[in-house]
Protein backbone atom coordinates (compact mmCIF):
# COMPACT_ATOMS: atom_id res chain seq x y z
CA UNK A 1 0.00 0.00 0.00
CA UNK A 2 1.45 3.31 -1.02
CA UNK A 3 -1.20 5.81 -1.95
CA UNK A 4 1.31 8.69 -1.98
CA UNK A 5 3.62 7.02 -4.50
CA UNK A 6 3.58 8.75 -7.85
CA UNK A 7 1.25 11.55 -6.76
CA UNK A 8 2.32 15.15 -6.41
CA UNK A 9 -0.61 16.03 -4.12
CA UNK A 10 -3.00 13.99 -1.98
CA UNK A 11 -6.05 15.63 -0.44
CA UNK A 12 -7.57 14.01 2.64
CA UNK A 13 -10.92 14.71 4.29
CA UNK A 14 -11.57 13.49 7.84
CA UNK A 15 -15.08 12.80 9.13
CA UNK A 16 -15.64 12.44 12.85
CA UNK A 17 -17.76 13.66 15.70
CA UNK A 18 -16.99 16.57 17.99
CA UNK A 19 -14.65 15.35 20.70
CA UNK A 20 -13.22 12.42 18.70
CA UNK A 21 -10.11 14.28 17.60
CA UNK A 22 -10.58 14.55 13.83
CA UNK A 23 -8.75 17.89 13.81
CA UNK A 24 -5.92 16.47 15.91
CA UNK A 25 -5.74 13.48 13.55
CA UNK A 26 -5.29 15.78 10.55
CA UNK A 27 -2.48 17.68 12.30
CA UNK A 28 -0.83 14.46 13.47
CA UNK A 29 -0.92 13.06 9.93
CA UNK A 30 0.74 16.19 8.57
CA UNK A 31 3.44 16.01 11.26
CA UNK A 32 4.20 12.39 10.26
CA UNK A 33 4.20 13.21 6.53
CA UNK A 34 6.60 16.12 7.04
CA UNK A 35 8.93 13.79 8.97
CA UNK A 36 8.80 11.49 5.91
CA UNK A 37 10.08 14.37 3.76
CA UNK A 38 6.85 15.64 2.24
CA UNK A 39 4.98 18.91 2.70
CA UNK A 40 1.61 19.18 4.36
CA UNK A 41 -1.04 21.44 5.81
CA UNK A 42 -3.98 20.58 8.05
CA UNK A 43 -7.00 22.67 8.87
CA UNK A 44 -10.47 22.21 10.35
CA UNK A 45 -13.89 23.27 9.20
CA UNK A 46 -15.69 24.81 12.12
CA UNK A 47 -19.41 25.34 12.19
CA UNK A 48 -21.71 25.00 15.17
CA UNK A 49 -19.97 21.84 16.34
CA UNK A 50 -20.49 20.44 19.77
CA UNK A 51 -19.50 17.14 21.33
CA UNK A 52 -21.02 14.38 19.21
CA UNK A 53 -21.94 16.55 16.21
CA UNK A 54 -20.38 15.72 12.81
CA UNK A 55 -16.99 17.42 12.31
CA UNK A 56 -14.81 17.73 9.22
CA UNK A 57 -11.07 18.33 9.02
CA UNK A 58 -8.73 18.43 6.04
CA UNK A 59 -5.12 17.69 5.15
CA UNK A 60 -3.17 18.28 1.98
CA UNK A 61 0.02 16.29 1.49
CA UNK A 62 2.46 16.92 -1.31
CA UNK A 63 5.92 16.89 -2.77
CA UNK A 64 6.18 20.68 -2.82
CA UNK A 65 5.04 23.61 -0.70
CA UNK A 66 1.27 23.83 -0.26
CA UNK A 67 -0.37 27.22 0.08
CA UNK A 68 -4.02 26.30 -0.50
CA UNK A 69 -6.12 26.07 2.67
CA UNK A 70 -9.61 25.79 1.27
CA UNK A 71 -12.16 23.07 2.00
CA UNK A 72 -11.51 19.88 0.09
CA UNK A 73 -14.55 19.03 -1.99
CA UNK A 74 -12.96 16.28 -4.13
CA UNK A 75 -10.63 14.36 -1.83
CA UNK A 76 -8.34 11.54 -2.85
CA UNK A 77 -8.91 9.94 0.54
CA UNK A 78 -11.63 10.07 3.16
CA UNK A 79 -11.08 8.95 6.73
CA UNK A 80 -14.12 8.06 8.82
CA UNK A 81 -13.54 7.96 12.58
CA UNK A 82 -17.13 7.09 13.56
CA UNK A 83 -18.80 4.28 11.59
CA UNK A 84 -22.30 5.61 12.36
CA UNK A 85 -21.57 8.74 10.32
CA UNK A 86 -22.11 6.86 7.06
CA UNK A 87 -25.82 6.80 7.98
CA UNK A 88 -26.03 10.61 8.41
CA UNK A 89 -23.35 12.18 6.21
CA UNK A 90 -22.40 11.33 2.64
CA UNK A 91 -18.76 10.70 3.54
CA UNK A 92 -18.02 9.62 -0.04
CA UNK A 93 -19.29 12.89 -1.55
CA UNK A 94 -16.84 14.09 -4.17
CA UNK A 95 -14.23 11.36 -3.65
CA UNK A 96 -12.21 11.04 -6.83
CA UNK A 97 -12.46 7.87 -8.89
CA UNK A 98 -9.39 5.87 -7.94
CA UNK A 99 -9.55 7.39 -4.48
CA UNK A 100 -9.85 5.52 -1.22
CA UNK A 101 -11.64 5.44 2.11
CA UNK A 102 -10.15 4.40 5.44
CA UNK A 103 -12.98 3.44 7.76
CA UNK A 104 -13.16 2.65 11.46
CA UNK A 105 -15.50 -0.30 11.41
CA UNK A 106 -15.72 -3.82 12.79
CA UNK A 107 -17.62 -5.08 9.74
CA UNK A 108 -16.30 -6.69 6.60
CA UNK A 109 -19.16 -5.68 4.32
CA UNK A 110 -18.96 -1.99 3.46
CA UNK A 111 -20.86 0.13 0.99
CA UNK A 112 -18.84 2.48 -1.18
CA UNK A 113 -19.18 3.99 -4.63
CA UNK A 114 -17.65 2.09 -7.52
CA UNK A 115 -14.03 2.98 -8.23
CA UNK A 116 -13.11 3.71 -4.60
CA UNK A 117 -10.78 1.44 -2.67
CA UNK A 118 -11.93 0.69 0.86
CA UNK A 119 -9.67 -0.01 3.83
CA UNK A 120 -10.97 -0.93 7.26
CA UNK A 121 -9.58 -1.11 10.74
CA UNK A 122 -11.42 -1.62 14.01
CA UNK A 123 -9.96 1.44 15.74
CA UNK A 124 -12.75 1.40 18.33
CA UNK A 125 -11.72 -2.06 19.51
CA UNK A 126 -8.06 -1.01 19.62
CA UNK A 127 -8.88 2.10 21.68
CA UNK A 128 -11.06 0.15 24.11
CA UNK A 129 -8.44 -2.59 24.57
CA UNK A 130 -5.85 0.06 25.42
CA UNK A 131 -8.18 2.03 27.70
CA UNK A 132 -8.11 5.07 25.42
CA UNK A 133 -11.49 6.46 26.47
CA UNK A 134 -12.46 10.02 27.39
CA UNK A 135 -15.90 10.93 28.74
CA UNK A 136 -17.18 7.56 27.52
CA UNK A 137 -15.87 8.02 23.96
CA UNK A 138 -13.19 5.70 22.54
CA UNK A 139 -10.26 7.83 21.33
CA UNK A 140 -9.75 6.43 17.84
CA UNK A 141 -7.99 9.33 16.13
CA UNK A 142 -4.38 8.19 16.60
CA UNK A 143 -5.23 4.61 15.61
CA UNK A 144 -6.83 5.96 12.44
CA UNK A 145 -3.67 7.96 11.66
CA UNK A 146 -1.68 4.74 12.07
CA UNK A 147 -3.95 2.96 9.58
CA UNK A 148 -3.88 5.92 7.21
CA UNK A 149 -0.08 6.05 7.34
CA UNK A 150 0.12 2.48 6.10
CA UNK A 151 -2.34 3.17 3.27
CA UNK A 152 -0.32 6.24 2.28
CA UNK A 153 3.02 4.43 2.53
CA UNK A 154 4.31 6.58 5.41
CA UNK A 155 6.70 4.93 7.86
CA UNK A 156 5.16 3.97 11.18
CA UNK A 157 8.18 5.42 12.98
CA UNK A 158 7.17 8.89 11.78
CA UNK A 159 3.69 8.51 13.26
CA UNK A 160 5.17 7.33 16.56
CA UNK A 161 7.56 10.31 16.61
CA UNK A 162 4.66 12.68 15.91
CA UNK A 163 2.64 11.11 18.75
CA UNK A 164 5.54 11.61 21.17
CA UNK A 165 5.80 15.24 20.08
CA UNK A 166 2.09 15.79 20.78
CA UNK A 167 1.72 13.72 23.96
CA UNK A 168 3.87 12.65 26.89
CA UNK A 169 4.13 9.78 29.35
CA UNK A 170 1.58 7.00 29.42
CA UNK A 171 -0.76 8.82 27.02
CA UNK A 172 2.01 8.92 24.41
CA UNK A 173 2.85 5.23 24.89
CA UNK A 174 -0.78 4.08 24.69
CA UNK A 175 -1.52 6.20 21.63
CA UNK A 176 1.70 5.07 19.92
CA UNK A 177 0.62 1.47 20.56
CA UNK A 178 -2.81 2.24 19.07
CA UNK A 179 -1.09 3.57 15.95
CA UNK A 180 1.14 0.47 15.75
CA UNK A 181 -1.81 -1.91 16.04
CA UNK A 182 -3.89 -0.07 13.46
CA UNK A 183 -0.91 0.12 11.08
CA UNK A 184 -0.58 -3.67 11.35
CA UNK A 185 -4.31 -4.44 11.16
CA UNK A 186 -5.63 -2.15 8.41
CA UNK A 187 -6.75 -4.16 5.41
CA UNK A 188 -8.31 -3.51 2.05
CA UNK A 189 -11.78 -5.00 1.71
CA UNK A 190 -14.18 -5.40 -1.16
CA UNK A 191 -16.90 -2.77 -1.23
CA UNK A 192 -20.47 -3.73 -2.08
Tens of pLDDT, residue by residue over 105-118, are: 987 667 788 899 99
| Mean of pLDDT values over 139-157 | 98
Whether the per-residue pLDDT at 52 is higher than 90: the answer is: no
User: Burial code of 34-57, b = ≥16 C-beta within 10 A, e = fewer?
Assistant: ebbebbbbbbbeeeebeeeebbbb
Please report the domains of the chain, with CATH numbers, ordered by start residue: 9-189 (3.40.920.10)
DSSP result, 128-145 = HHHT-EETTEE--HHHHH
CB 49 within 8 A of CB 60: no
- Give 173-188 pLDDT, tens digit per residue: 999 999 999 999 999 9
Torsion sign across C-alpha atoms 140, 82, 30, 180: positive
Query: pLDDT band at 121, cuts 50/70/90?
Result: very high
Amino acid sequence: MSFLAGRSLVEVRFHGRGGQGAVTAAHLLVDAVVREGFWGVAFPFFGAERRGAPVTAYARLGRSRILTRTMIRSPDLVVVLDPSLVNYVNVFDGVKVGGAAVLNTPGEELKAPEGIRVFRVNATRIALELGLVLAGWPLVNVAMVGALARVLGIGLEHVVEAVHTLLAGKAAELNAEAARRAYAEVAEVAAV
